[in-house]
Amino acid sequence: MNDRGALRRLLHEPHALIAGAVLTAIVIACLLAPVYAADVAHTGPDATHVTETIVVSGKKVEVVSPTGVPIGPTWTGRFLLGADENGRDVAVRLLYGGRNSLEIAAVATVLSIVLAVAVALIAGWLGGAVDSLLCRLMDLIWSYPVLLLGVALGVTLAVSGIDLGFTTLRGGSLMLPALIIGVVYVPYMARPLRARTIELRGREFVDAARQQGLSGTRIMLGEILPNLSSSILVFAPLLLANAILMEAGLSFLGAGVQPPAPSWGTMISEGTRLMPDAIHLVLAPGLMLLAAVVSANVLAEAARDVLDPRARLRAQPTAGGLDWVPTVPPAPPAPSDGEPA
């Protein structure tokens, strides 16, 4: 199926259009966080208003009561979704937190794809000892629960940081959780792409390229990689969904985005301390997180149906979110008596 035909089919999938619209709306809203903060809410993500009062329905209301309970949603420009225990605008922090969460998830997704494709091509093409070494490394990463491995790396690197040679990531950097998430999800994409690379290595067009004298690098990049594009496109939204969920989990446990920087995970963590008096502190970021993850997963499923209609995959819960695993297609019915086999 060519790219235009696949795109045309994807645009005719109602659930894909809805999911794409929801995810796009979330991204645009988060990108416009500074505009909303300056022109609508008139406050910043870290500005506190503990001692202030606002007018709601003609009455003066304290932003944070003497008992420490913050105001709930006002459904107006200021404190649209209420305030937190420090008197900060929840709606503003929700959008700024979304910027951080989506930025981390996007960088982690790109990093996972680049590393997974590189590992798959090298292992699948070279085979032998190189393949065995890379497979054992992937097995080592895969042997640990994703969230547990992410927390261990996050806590360690949040204290010491990491020197990458060309740059140094210190504790509190948004790129630190992005690096952790990007690395731990590499095996989930590298293993199926490696299997596909091994399959393509024996095809006639690869043999023809060898006979033409093309180098292994040119064959990998010019012949095999384009044939992996459909699989990569299917994995991309799935990795994005898992990365968003993983970032929220790490931040919730204190191993991701560090306060006072907002993220959906840190907001949920902070909100649990005031449950049930201020349930809006958990509901707002929780619903945003749910909408982003579900829409990305629906896009992944739609892309899989369009790019490979013969595939049979099912969503399987994992420690880091959802993973697509193959299922055995149903066997054709046996012919009845008198019918040709």
- pLDDT value of residue 84: 92
Task: Please give the average per-residue pLDDT across 201-215, as a whole number.
Answer: 87
- pLDDT value of residue 323: 52
What are the E-state strand segments in the chain? 53-56, 59-62, 162-163, 168-169, 313-318, 321-326
CA 127/CA 229 separation, integer angstroms: 21
Name the residue among 142, 185, 176 with its Cα closest to residue 261: 176
Task: Please give the average per-residue pLDDT across 14-39, as a whole number.
Answer: 92
The domain ranges of the chain are 3-326
- For residue 63, the tally of other CB atoms under 10 A from its CB is 22
CA dihedral 330, 332, 334, 336 (to 10 degrees): 130
Q: What is residue 274's DSSP assignment?
A: G
C-alpha 101 chain-centroid distance = 9
- pLDDT value of residue 6: 60
Query: Angle at CA 105, nearest 5°, toward 283 and 90?
Result: 30
Q: Which two tokens stand for residue 201?
A: 């290595």
CA distances from 42 to 2, 60, 74, 84, 88 (A): 49, 18, 15, 16, 11
- pLDDT value of residue 332: 47
**Residues 150 and 250: beta-carbon distance below 8 Å:** yes
- pLDDT value of residue 5: 59
- pLDDT value of residue 147: 83
DSSP run (H or E) holding 208? helix 204-211
Residue 83, pLDDT > 50, answer yes
**Residues 68 and 51: beta-carbon distance below 8 Å:** no
- pLDDT value of residue 111: 95
Instruction: Give the tens place of pLDDT for each residue, 159-200.
Output: 777 777 777 777 678 888 898 899 999 998 999 999 999 998
**Residues 249 and 147: beta-carbon distance below 8 Å:** yes
- pLDDT value of residue 318: 56
CA 117/CA 185 separation, integer angstroms: 12
DSSP run (H or E) holding 5? helix 3-11
Instruction: Give the tens place of pLDDT for each residue, 303-327.
Output: 777 776 545 445 555 554 555 455 4
Give the burial class of 98: count Cβ atoms within 10 A of its Cβ; 0-12 exposed, 13-18 middle, 19 or more buried. Answer: buried
Residue 314's beta-bridge partner residues?
325
Tokens 């629960």 correspond to 145
**Residues 171 and 158: beta-carbon distance below 8 Å:** yes
Instruction: Give the tens place of pLDDT for each residue, 84-127.
Output: 999 999 999 999 999 999 999 999 999 999 999 999 999 999 88
Confidence bin at 258 (pLDDT 50/70/90) = confident
- pLDDT value of residue 149: 84
Confidence bin at 328 (pLDDT 50/70/90) = very low
Instruction: Give the tens place of pLDDT for each residue, 212-232.
Output: 888 888 989 888 998 888 888
Task: Please give the average per-residue pLDDT across 191-211, as a whole number.
Answer: 89
Range 52-56 contact pairs with CB under 8 angstroms and sequence separation of 24 or more? 52/87, 54/78, 54/79
Residue 269, pLDDT > 90, answer yes
Pairing of strands 53-56, 321-326: unpaired
**What residue type is 243 in one-letter code?**
A
Domain 3-326 has CATH 3.40.50.300: no
C-alpha 22 chain-centroid distance = 15
Instruction: Give this prediction's pTM.
Output: 0.84
